[in-house]
Structure 1
C-alpha cells in the first residue's frame, strides 16, 4: 500500500463486523460508531433489509454493465429523479462520489463549452485528477496541475476569513460582491460546484440562502450550479432531504451529485441533471460498475428503509439533541473554538488554548481518547485537520447520542 494511504490511530484497528450503530474490531472490542465509514453507513450496520436484498440479488446476478437492460438500475433512477426536485431529470450511476463529480464536470464543461469552474475555498470533491483540481483544501490537493481552470470564491466557511465578523446578511452580500468581482475578470465559467455543508473541510457551511444569492448572479450568465451532495444528501442534515434545500429560493440546482449513504456501504455514486444537460454529450459512454445490479438492489432497499422509517426526521430530532449536548459539555473548554453542524453532521473545531490557531495534535489526541473510550469519530478541516467530525448512522437513538456525548466529553477533558 502507498505511504499516503493513511490509517487512523497510533495502533490501527481492523473492523470485522457491525450491527446497528456499533462495530467490533478483530480483538473483540465493541465501539459506538459515530463516523459510519466516512458517512457511508447511513442507516445501520448489517441492516437486515439491505442484507436480504443483496443476498437475493447475488443469488440471481451480480453484474452485467450498462450495455444491457437493468431493472434495479432503472427503478432506483426513477425514485432518485423524483426525489431530486430537478424537472425532467436524468440519472447516471457511477461507482463513487469522485466519479460522480467527474461526470458532473464533464457534463457542465461540454454543455457550456468552457473549462473554467468556480469552486469554494476549503472544499473537497474527490481524489481523481479532475476532482483534485477543483478541491480548495490544501491537505487533499497534491498537485496544482488540472484539466480545468479553477477560480475559488468565498462563502463555505462562516466563522473564518475576511467576512467572518459580519452578520449573516452582510456575509452573504460580501460573498456575492466577491463572486461578481471574480466573474468580472474571466470569461463566463461552466459551473459553480459547491457542497452545501463542507464535509472533509470540517462540516462548515454558509448562512442559509448564500447559494440562492449566488444562483441569481450566475444565472444571468448561464453558469450552472452543481450541488455536491455526496455527504449531505438523503436527509443527513435533518431539516432537509438535500443540503441545497437550505438555499432553495432559486429552485433546485442544475446538477446534483450523490454517493456514500445511498448504498449503505455498497459502492454507489451518481449524477442527476436536467435532460438537456445530461444528454449533451456527443460521444458514446458507458459505466462498467456504475449501476451494477447488486449495488442497485442495496440502494433500493436502503432508500426504502430510510423513507419508511423517517430517518431524516430522526436526524433532525436526535441530531438536534446531540449538538446541544455537545455544546453544553464543551462550554468553557479552552481548546474548543466552535461546535457546529446540522442534523447528524456535527463538527467540533479545536484550537490552541488562548489563540485562534488550529490544533491538529489536539484533534488527533481526542480521536485516540475517544477510541479508547469506545467511540469512533472522524477528523478533518481546512486548517490541518483540527476539527472532529461526528456523523453516525441516521437511526441513532437518544440513548446512543447521550453515550457518545459522554465519551467525547471525557476525551476532551482528558486533554484540557
Structure 2
C-alpha cells in the first residue's frame, strides 16, 4: 500500500487537528542508531528523535532486550500491586533529582505529568492560581492547555485555573530584549512582583520550562529562576520545573535544566517524560514528600509505572549514564551550534541560532524585518527531508523556528553531515520563499 493510501485512511478516521509534517506525509518504518527509514526504504539522519523522545538511539539493544524479557513475564499490573521495576526506577530518579526527601509518581505522558503537578500544587496551596511563562507549552490536556502561553497550542480559553503569565523565557524579543542579562533578570523579577501584587489571592505555583521546547528552544539568562525563586519563597509559592524536554542531560551543561539556576537550589517539583523511555510511554513527577503526600483522597495510575515501561526506563537511564551521553551532548552540541551560527551568519532570513547541548533552534524571519516567517520554516523542513535530514519546527506565532534535537549519542561525523544538510536546506528554503 502506498503512502498516499495510508494518508487517505488517516484523514478518514483521525482528527483534522492531528497535524502531520510535510506536504506528503511520511511513514517511518524502522530505526537504528541515529537513522530512520521510511516506507519507501529511504534512510534519514534523525535530528528530531520523535520530538526529543528517542534520547539515546533508535532500537537500543539494552531497551529492546529489557522490554522483550519483561513482556514474557507480565506486561501490566497497575499501581495497586507492588512493582519492583517501578520502585527501582523511582529510587534512581529520586537520587538524581536533587530534591530532598523526594517522592516519585509515574504517569504515561508529559501531559499527564503536568496534570499531576498542578493537582499537587493546587491541593497543597488550596488555590487555583498558577504562574506560567509567556510562550510556554506544557501539554495538550484541559489543565495543561490552561497554563500554556503559546497560543498556537492553546485551543480554548476555558480553564479550571486562573493563570497569570510573566516575562522571562524569550531573551531576544519583547520589551526587555535590549537589556543586559542582569538588567533583563531584574526587569523580569519586577514584573513578577507586580503580577503577584495584583493577583489578589494566594498563588499556588510557578510552572516553567528551563528551555522552552515547543516555543522554539528559547530561554532566559542563567540564574533567572533562582531570582524568581527568592520572590516565590517569600510568599510560599511552589516552583515546578518542566523537564519534559530539558531533562536527562539534553542541554549538555546540566543533567536537569533547573541546574542552570542552581543558586536557588532544586525546585519543589519537577516533571519528566519523553526521553526516559526512549519511545516507551513514561512520564512522571518528582516532589518533596510534604507536597507529594498532601492529597486528601485516593489516587492511582492504571498505566503509569507499568512493569514493561519501567524496565525500559531503567535500561535506558543506565545506558545514558554508563556512556556519559550528557557529556556527549555537550561535546558534540557545542561545535554543532558554533558551526550553524557561522554558516547562518550570511543568511538574511535567519534571525538567530540559539540553544545549548543538543537542543538547538534556528529562528527564521522575513528578510529585512524582525517578523517571523513560518512559510520559510515549512519550506526548510521539506528541503531538509529531501536532503535526508529530519528536523522539527516550533515557535510562536505559526512555527518559524527549526528545532534540532537528535539522540544524545550523535557522533561528530553525523553532526557534521547533518549541519551540511541543514545549511543547504536553509539556503534553498530562503530562495524558494522569496520567489513564492
Task: Report the TM-score when normalising by structure 2.
Answer: 0.95
Following superposition, the deviation at residue 383 of structure 1 comes to: 2.3
CA distance in 1 between counterparts of 2:266 and 2:230 reads: 12
Superimposed CA distance per residue, residues 17-54 of structure 1 (whole angstroms, 9 cap, x where no aligned partner): 10000000000000000000000000000000111101
CA distance in 2 between counterparts of 1:412 and 1:105 reads: 40
Corresponding residue of 1:168 = 181
CA distance in 2 between counterparts of 1:269 and 1:287 reads: 11
CA distance in 2 between counterparts of 1:58 and 1:256 reads: 30
Match of 2:209 among 195, 198, 203: 195
Following superposition, the deviation at residue 384 of structure 1 comes to: 1.4
Alignment of 1:398 onto 2:412: yes
After superposing on structure 2, the runs of 4+ consecutive aligned residues of structure 1 that deviate more than 3 Å are none
Corresponding residue of 1:292 = 306
Q: How does 1:78-97 map to 2 (within 5 A)?
A: 78-97=91-110
Superimposed CA distance per residue, residues 206-262 of structure 1 (whole angstroms, 9 cap, x where no aligned partner): 000000000000100000000000000000000000000000101000000000000
Alignment of 1:326 onto 2:340: yes
> How many matched pairs?
416
Q: Contact 2:171–2:220 at 8 Å: present in 1 too?
A: yes
Q: Contact 2:377–2:429 at 8 Å: present in 1 too?
A: no
Corresponding residue of 2:433 = none
Following superposition, the deviation at residue 382 of structure 1 comes to: 1.7
Following superposition, the deviation at residue 413 of structure 1 comes to: 1.1
Alignment of 1:11 onto 2:24: yes
Alignment of 1:124 onto 2:137: yes
Superimposed CA distance per residue, residues 259-281 of structure 1 (whole angstroms, 9 cap, x where no aligned partner): 00000000000000000100000
Match of 1:143 among 141, 152, 156: 156
Following superposition, the deviation at residue 415 of structure 1 comes to: 2.7
Q: Contact 2:109–2:273 at 8 Å: present in 1 too?
A: yes
Q: Contact 2:113–2:283 at 8 Å: present in 1 too?
A: yes
Following superposition, the deviation at residue 188 of structure 1 comes to: 2.5
Q: Find the residue that maps to 2:314 and give its secondary structure.
A: helix
Corresponding residue of 2:9 = none
CA distance in 1 between counterparts of 2:134 and 2:398 reads: 14
Task: Report the TM-score when normalising by structure 1.
Answer: 1.00
Q: Find the residue that maps to 1:185 and give its secondary structure.
A: helix
Following superposition, the deviation at residue 329 of structure 1 comes to: 1.1
Unaligned runs of 5+ in 1: none
Match of 1:253 among 249, 255, 267: 267
CA distance in 2 between counterparts of 1:37 and 1:412 reads: 21
Corresponding residue of 2:126 = 113
Alignment of 1:351 onto 2:365: yes
Unaligned runs of 5+ in 2: 1-13, 431-436
CA distance in 1 between counterparts of 2:117 and 2:60 reads: 31
Q: Find the residue that maps to 2:286 and give its secondary structure.
A: strand
Q: Find the residue that maps to 1:366 and give its secondary structure.
A: helix
Corresponding residue of 2:59 = 46
Match of 1:371 among 385, 395, 408: 385
Corresponding residue of 2:39 = 26
Corresponding residue of 1:268 = 282
Q: Find the residue that maps to 1:329 and give its secondary structure.
A: helix
Q: Find the residue that maps to 1:225 and give its secondary structure.
A: strand
Q: Contact 2:387–2:425 at 8 Å: present in 1 too?
A: yes
Corresponding residue of 2:220 = 206
Q: Find the residue that maps to 2:244 and give its secondary structure.
A: coil
Q: How does 1:375-386 map to 2 (within 5 A)?
A: 375-386=389-400
